[in-house]
């Protein structure tokens, strides 16, 4: 069985999509459609920067999605590959869940771009800049990370945001609590804690205003039936019902990204091939989480051509 997976924030970089756009009309059409939907030349920011503009959450989220969907469209059109025929399920990390839903027909490309722009703006607006923070814990399993979050909180928000793989967990919350967590990490047997260069504390209870904004947006633009099951971040379980998924997307804004558990659940369901489209971030996480699987990350035209031959 094969799962197609889609990366989240942090995989953006200046130059993303430029090679694909130069080589493929299918990719150019994706970038143009996203530009038109947003009323902005996002593709130019992706290709040329400036970096600080691309890194803004409201730009990074639709950019990462557009890049992954461009890879998918080139694969489908020029490789003659149908995701629904070649895949058994999909999943995405944080905003990547929206990309996955776009890939299987739950959202149009234009609606996905607009939803992610709104999501990025709402998440940024939920907490004043400088009041929230996130840190990555290296060499930490979920139990150690949870214990550290509880110890560092001291009446402030400090929560597990991403359970990425057996040795990497991300905490999110109030700046003071996250700084305490970094300082205390080694005391709890964690290799080290590293502050992340993010502009807001994603996936924690401080994001409640953003969850409310997405609840309203997803009532106006709800997911439609999708062609393959999706493993949702907040449940680490397969979902096929559009209304259930709408509610899960709202919960995802404040909820934990249970990526490690999602990978384990897909493996338990029989998935032995994972294909990451549009990034090279999730593949290593999968490899650190499960054994006896094939992991492929697809970004360039050469990657796409190689995958098309394999499929």
Question: Which residues form the catalytic set?
Answer: 94, 203
230 CB contacts (<8 Å, ≥6 apart)? 89, 90, 91, 97, 100, 101, 104, 106, 238, 239, 240, 245
DSSP 3-state of 299: coil
Q: Which residue's entry shows tokens 């929206």? A: 98
Alpha helices by DSSP H, listed for the chain, are 18-23, 25-38, 42-48, 51-55, 57-79, 83-86, 96-103, 109-126, 142-153, 175-184, 208-220, 242-254, 259-268, 282-289, 301-310
Q: How far, in Å, CA of 302 to CA of 166, rounded?
A: 31
**Of residues 133, 135, 154, the one with CA closest to residue 145:** 135
Pairing mode of beta strands 192-195, 168-174: unpaired
254 CB contacts (<8 Å, ≥6 apart)? 203, 204, 205, 206, 207, 208, 210, 211
Q: What is the DSSP letter of 187?
A: G
Q: What is the DSSP letter of 224?
A: P
Task: Respond yes or no on whether the N-terminal peptide bond of residue 50 is cis (omega within 30° of 0).
Answer: yes
User: What would the two tokens of residue 245 be?
Assistant: 């998924």
């Amino acid at each position: 069985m094969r799962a197609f997976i889609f990366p989240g924030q942090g995989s953006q970089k200046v130059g993303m999509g430029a090679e694909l756009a130069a080589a493929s009309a299918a990719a150019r059409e994706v970038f143009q459609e996203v530009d038109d939907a947003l009323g902005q030349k996002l593709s130019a920011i992706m290709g040329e920067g400036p970096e600080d503009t691309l890194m803004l959450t409201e730009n990074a989220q639709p950019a990462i999605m557009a890049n992954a969907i461009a890879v998918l469209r080139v694969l489908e059109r020029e490789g003659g590959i149908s995701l629904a025929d070649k895949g058994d399920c999909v999943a995405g990390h944080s905003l990547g869940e929206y990309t996955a839903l776009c890939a299987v027909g739950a959202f149009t490309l234009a609606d996905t771009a607009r939803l992610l722009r709104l999501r990025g703006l709402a998440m940024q607006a939920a907490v004043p800049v400088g009041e929230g923070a996130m840190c990555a814990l290296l060499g930490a399993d979920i139990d150690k990370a949870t214990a550290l979050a509880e110890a560092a909180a001291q009446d402030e928000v400090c929560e597990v945001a991403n359970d990425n793989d057996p040795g990497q967990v991300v905490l999110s919350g109030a700046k003071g609590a996250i700084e305490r967590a970094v300082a205390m990490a080694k005391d709890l047997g964690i290799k080290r804690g590293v502050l992340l260069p993010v502009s807001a504390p994603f996936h924690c209870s401080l994001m409640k205003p953003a969850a409310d904004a997405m609840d309203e947006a997803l009532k106006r633009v709800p997911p439609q039936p999708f062609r393959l099951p999706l493993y949702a971040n907040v449940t680490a379980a397969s979902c096929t019902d559009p209304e259930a998924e709408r509610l899960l997307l709202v919960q995802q804004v404040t909820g934990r990204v249970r990526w490690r558990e999602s990978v384990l659940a897909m493996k338990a369901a029989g998935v032995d091939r994972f294909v990451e489209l549009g990034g090279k971030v999730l593949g290593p996480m999968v490899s650190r989480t499960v054994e006896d699987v094939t992991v492929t990350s697809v970004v360039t035209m050469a990657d796409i051509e190689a995958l098309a031959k394999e499929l």
